[in-house]
Amino acid sequence: MKIKVFSEKDIRRAVPMERAITVLKDAFIQLSAGKANVPLRSVIPVSAHSGQTLFMPAYLEGSGALGAKIVSVFPDNRKRDLPIIHALVILVDSSTGVPLAVLDGTYLTALRTGAVSGLATDLLARKNARTAAIFGAGVQGRTQLEAICRVRHIEKVWVFDPNTKAAENFVSEMKSLGQPIPEAIFTARSSSQAIEEADIICAATTSSKPVFADSDLRPGTHINGVGSFTPEAQEIPSETVIRAKIIVDSRQASLAEAGDLLIPLRKGSIGPDHIYAELGQIAAGQLPGRETRQEVTFFKSVGLAIQDIAVAAQVLQEAEKSGLGTEVNF
């Protein structure tokens, strides 16, 4: 049996951000059309080390992509000078069950998470959005910024992270990338400063508490909340959730895992019907996205395996044309 192995470098070459956004648009349309099988992920807590490992399978019937991701989230890795997130993705032939490929899931996770925010931003943010606020100066924050800059002409960016050094490194690194990343990237001294001008907010943190105050939020802002993925974690204030138009990646997954929604729901502040739509419904044109300049739109993503599998399948497809990857005999 021969399996292809793809590194971060291979994935970057095979699927640039613009292509990832397009691939995910199709995947989410399949999901909302009932043409995807995505069981809720299984979570194995590793309490001795304050971490957890998640097992995430998926099958996209329309495109025939089948596989799974194993991803570990260990926040204490910061102290070890290691990434918080490590992941591995495997693809399987949907007609035979034969394993096809193994991919570095760490970068792929960042790519697909950025890409889904890019898709949501394209569908929901004001067309003239120019200023962005990024919460979280990790790998996820980097692809969040890249993605929104691919769909909007961003002129100014504020970055906030409790780790000032991480925020400074983020600014330096992102400035060096050039267009479409603007040169006007600044570290914010506070969450209030970060969002006082923001047209678009991306929250990509491991925080269990809201990362900004609702009172600082401007009318017409679009928010991407992609960091929290457990019922107890809440990046976005309940006051914001209550007044926002809420779009989710999956109703089922969000109502099982998204603390940003479950916390105000448990308090009776909102009900399940407060969710306006799934992203795939808007992408397919079944429902409108932003309807007024003043409304606050909030895309909540807990992260779905269809994102990983769809992008991984695209990597494999591109590799067949360009010879990327390393073939391994088992």
Token pair for residue 10?
């291979």
Phi-psi region of 178 (alpha: psi -120 to 50; beta: other; left: phi over 0): left
Q: Which two tokens stand for residue 72?
A: 């570990």
Please state, in angstroms and rounded to a whole number, the distance separating the CA atoms of residues 270 and 165: 38
What is the distance between the alpha carbons of residues 307 and 175, in angstroms, rounded to a whole number?
28
Quick one: which of 318, 322, 310 has its CA closest to 21? Answer: 310
The half-sphere exposure of 237 on its side-chain side, counting CA atoms within 13 A, is 13
In this structure, are strands 65-73 and 297-300 parallel, antiparallel, or unpaired? unpaired
Evaluate the CA torsion angle 147, 198, 248, 25 in order and state its sign.
negative
Q: Which helix (H) or strand (E) holds 53?
A: strand 51-60
Q: Which residues are catalytic?
A: 69
The C-alpha R_g of the chain, in whole angstroms, comes to: 19
Query: Going by C-beta distance under 8 Å and a sequence separation of 6 or more, which residues neighbour residue 32?
Result: 278, 279, 280, 281, 283, 284, 286
Torsion angle in degrees (nearest 10) through CA of 6, 175, 127, 118: 20
* Beta strand segments in 228-325, E: 245-248, 275-278, 297-300
Whose tokens are 């005999």? That residue is 329
d(CA 217, CA 219): 7
Dihedral, 123, 127, 131, 136 alpha carbons, nearest 10: 10
